[in-house]
Amino acid sequence: MWCSRMALRRLQQVAVTPLNMAGGLTSKVQREMSTLPRVYITRQIPPEGLKILRESGQVQFELWDSDDVPVPRKELLQKVKGVDGLVCVLTEKIDTELLDAAGPNLKVLSTMSVGFDHLSLEELKKRGIRVGYTPDVLTDSVAELTVALLLTTSRRLIEATHEAKTGGWGTWRTLWLCGHELAGSTVGILGLGRIGVAIAERLAPFKVKKFIYADVAPRPELASVINAEYVSFDELAKQSDFLSVCCALTPETKEICNKDLFSKMKNTSIFINTSRGGVVNQEDLYEALSTGQIAGAGLDVTVPEPLPTSHPLFTLKNCVILPHIASASYATRNNMSALAANNLLLGLRGEPMIKELKL
Ligand SMILES: O=C(O)[C@H](O)CO
């Protein structure tokens, strides 16, 4: 259950201080407890994960006691010194500097995210640090939000509520606030994985005519679930009425959605991104949206995050921007924290993690 902030604070105070945990015990027990592996948690993660760590009796942990502000880098570099394990979220860059600061004790990193573009995988591999992450548990939540964002963008819901609230709602008009419908459309998925399949499964009942996808290679097993056709990147751009970006951010996919892609899309197309902002060249997207090259865009992710309120994309009526909330349901975030905690504990025991990145 989601507990109150005060209750959570109390839990943490008990959990984070081994001497408190051992209060009243003999000094021998205190000594034994202090030899537990040390873990730093870079964020106040949801309670399920903290409960698992606390009740495991396997680790002593300290955490950055806030969800509103990320741990300052300087503090993080101090806190990780000598830890055996680290739990992080996507706002922390886990790079050479941080791993140097942590030192050779660090054996396990567990990120509470499916994305791993904030981790220097090469460095982690070089140092033999095992990495846990949280795929699958967020698939439903992300797919749901993607559908919501797609419909919000294509049916111009933000514009519509604004007009209704601010007196723009005059008589019923034949073409006012018209958008684009899913029925009879071609939906393209860039990067077909679990999330892409889950999005397509949810869109199919809207009478989509055809699903297509582009990826580094065909993925017949996944594609067969949604009867999707493998096409080239160019064909994806040309044919898609709705293009949903689901690929991970890697050096290969950085700004892959740029002028070249947008120029091949239809003027009536809707572009949706719920993966990472870095896959899009935002200047090119602004150009495509403001010149009518494409009809609209729905973005849950941007560069940077938060996107400054003065950013030109915020001036466009045909661009809907959300603050990276695709996995933000209570159930999913709790499941992510539980998976991150279990991955960490398994990793520290030298056992296979539930979800481990192959480095
Ligand atoms: O990578 C992730 O997990 C999402 O972007 C946030 O939940």
Q: Specify whether 311 is catalytic.
A: no
State whether the beta carbon of 195 lies less than 6 angstroms from ligand 1.
no
pTM of the model: 0.90
pLDDT value at position 15? 40
Does 243 lie in the same domain as 146?
yes
The radius of gyration of the chain's CA atoms, rounded to the nearest angstrom, is 23
52 falls within a domain: yes
234 falls within a domain: yes
Does 154 lie in the same domain as 66?
no
The burial of 216, by beta-carbon neighbours within 10 Å (0-12 exposed, 13-18 middle, 19 or more buried), is given as exposed
Q: Which atom of ligand 1 is nearest to the CA of 274?
A: 5
147 falls within a domain: yes
Does 317 lie in the same domain as 207?
yes
DSSP code of residue 205: G
Q: Which residue among 89, 305, 327 is best mutated to probe the pocket of ligand 1, counting the most ligand atoms within 8 A of its Cβ?
A: 327
Omega prior to 306 cis, within 30 of 0: yes
DSSP code of residue 273: E
The domain that holds 190 is classified in CATH as: 3.40.50.720
Does 260 lie in the same domain as 188?
yes
| Type of residue found at 358 | K
Q: Ligand 1 centre and the CA of 293: distance in Å?
A: 30
170 falls within a domain: no
Does 182 lie in the same domain as 58?
no
State whether the beta carbon of 312 lies less than 6 angstroms from ligand 1.
no
Number of domains forming the structure of the chain: 2
State whether the beta carbon of 115 lies less than 6 angstroms from ligand 1.
yes
Range of the domain at 57: 32-136+331-357
Does 124 lie in the same domain as 64?
yes
pLDDT value at position 33? 54
pLDDT value at position 34? 67
171 falls within a domain: no
pLDDT tens for each residue of the chain, 359 residues long: 333 443 344 334 334 433 233 223 334 444 445 699 999 999 999 999 999 999 999 999 999 999 999 999 999 999 999 999 999 999 999 999 999 999 999 999 999 999 999 999 999 999 999 999 999 999 999 999 999 999 999 999 999 999 999 999 999 999 999 999 999 999 999 999 999 999 999 999 999 999 999 999 999 999 999 999 999 999 999 999 999 999 999 999 999 999 999 999 999 999 999 999 999 999 999 999 999 999 999 999 999 999 999 999 999 999 999 999 999 999 999 999 999 999 999 999 999 999 999 99
State whether the beta carbon of 112 lies less than 6 angstroms from ligand 1.
no
Sheet containing 319-321: order of strands: 228-230, 210-214, 186-190, 242-245, 270-273, 296-299, 319-321
The terminus-to-terminus CA distance of the chain in angstroms comes to: 34
100 falls within a domain: yes
199 falls within a domain: yes
Does 205 lie in the same domain as 71?
no
State whether the beta carbon of 256 lies less than 6 angstroms from ligand 1.
no
37 falls within a domain: yes
Q: Ligand 1 centre and the CA of 24: distance in Å?
A: 42
Does 352 lie in the same domain as 288?
no
Does 234 lie in the same domain as 208?
yes
Does 185 lie in the same domain as 293?
yes
Does 257 lie in the same domain as 277?
yes
The phi, psi pair for 52, rounded to 5°, reads: -60, -45
Does 159 lie in the same domain as 302?
yes
